[in-house]
């Protein structure tokens, strides 16, 4: 499967300019928040640093869709609160499991339905961020997951997180209800 390159040199001029300006704006905000000084010398140093970073980012070709996913900001408004809710719920589940010792470690494989590497990375990272499930291997679109207990494994099997990451990335949500690979 060819890797998606929709970045600085893909010929999407508007996208390229937006991303470069967005990167400069984000770096400027980062500088101001960390320093908090409005002295001419400090501001001048800040502008020089930002210019240098933007030039390096462009030369390295990293301010692309993967390295600087600014397009996920708006869809992320609904995804991140849901992810935080999932993290809180499974934290409590896993904390209980640790205290009672009631665990059943298992390995399962799920199919990531996202169309590109960025989407699969977001999905695999979301799995790992949620306690009780850890991505241990990604092979093309198959993610191997280590689950601590049946409850957290079943939560992943339902495919809800997969569908939500598809929504986040703007991919079509799979209609196939079987999310697990090789399940009976």
Q: Which of 106/158 has CB closer to other proteins? A: 106
Give Cβ neighbours of residue 73 (< 8 Å, ≥ 6 apart).
none
Interatomic CA distance for residues 108 and 133, integer angstroms = 10
**Whole-number minimum distance, CB 28 to other proteins, in Å?**
13
d(CA 27, CA 157): 39
Q: Quote the least distance from Cβ 84 to other proteins, whole Å.
A: 8
Nearer to other proteins, 132 or 155 (CB): 132
Query: In the complex, what is the shortest distance from the CB of residue 55 to other proteins, in angstroms, rounded to a whole number?
Result: 23
In the structure encoding, which two tokens stand for residue 37, read together?
């000084």
Binding site for other proteins (CB under 8 A): 30, 33-34, 36, 87-88, 91, 94-95, 98-99, 101, 103, 105-109, 124-125, 128-137, 139-140, 142, 144, 146, 148, 181-182
Name the residue nearer to other proteins (CB basis): 4 or 103. Answer: 103
Residue 61 CB, nearest approach to other proteins (Å): 21
CB of 14 to other proteins, least distance (A): 27
Residue 10 vs 137, nearer CB to other proteins: 137
Closer to other proteins by CB, 24 or 129: give it.
Answer: 129
């Amino acid at each position: 499967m060819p890797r998606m390159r929709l970045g600085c040199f893909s010929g999407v001029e508007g996208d390229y300019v937006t991303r470069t300006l967005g990167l400069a704006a984000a770096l400027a905000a980062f500088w101001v928040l960390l320093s908090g000084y409005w002295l001419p010398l400090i501001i001048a140093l800040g502008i020089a640093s930002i210019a240098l970073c933007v030039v390096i980012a462009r030369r390295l070709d990293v301010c692309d869709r993967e390295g600087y996913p600014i397009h996920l900001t708006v869809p992320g408004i609904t995804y991140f609160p849901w992810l935080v809710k999932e993290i809180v719920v499974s934290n409590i589940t896993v904390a209980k499991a640790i205290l009672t010792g009631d665990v059943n470690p298992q390995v399962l494989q799920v199919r990531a339905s996202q169309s590109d590497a960025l989407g699969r990375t977001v999905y695999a990272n979301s799995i790992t961020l949620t306690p009780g499930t850890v991505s241990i291997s990604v092979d093309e679109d198959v993610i191997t997951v280590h689950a601590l207990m049946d409850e957290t494994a079943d939560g992943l099997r339902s495919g809800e997180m997969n569908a939500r990451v598809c929504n986040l990335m703007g991919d079509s949500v799979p209609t196939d209800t079987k999310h697990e690979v090789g399940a009976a």
